[in-house]
Amino acid sequence: MKRFIYILILLLIPKITLAIAYLPLEAYEDNKKTNPKHHVINEVYVHGVGMGLMSANSELEQKGLKPLYCTPTELPMTSEIYNNILDEQIKHLKEGITEKEWEYINPVPISGILLRGLKRTFPCK
């Protein structure tokens, strides 16, 4: 029986990973409203996306290419900072658009929205 449970868990891990590999804006906002546990998932997810973008940025700089955004070197990029930037970018996106237009933005992954927020917050000069 234990062996069956282990096999079942191993079969489900890729499905669970796939389920959280893509977080659309609509799910991000729903998670914030519905359950504090889901809010923690958002924070961890956004921090992971932010760290991935920071790694991509470092890789570009090491190759002598223009970075995507330019954070101050003395600023440690924390989960709180990434989440605040994302929330500010969402507010910025909502300004001046209709509810119908917002429906087209809802399925957009938050990774792209966070990147736009980082570019807006830390533009390269």
Three-state SS string across the chain, please? CHHHHHHHHHHHHHHHHHHHCCCEHHHHHHHHHHCHHHHHHHHHHHHHHHHHHHHHHHHHHHCCCCCCCCCCCCCCCCHHHHHHHHHHHHHHHHCCCCHHHHHHHCCCEHHHHHHHHHHHHCCCC
pLDDT tens digits, one per residue of 34-84: 877 777 888 889 999 999 999 999 999 999 999 999 998 888 999 999 999
Residue, of 124 and 1, whose pLDDT is higher: 124
pTM: 0.79
User: For the chain, what is the mean pLDDT?
Assistant: 83
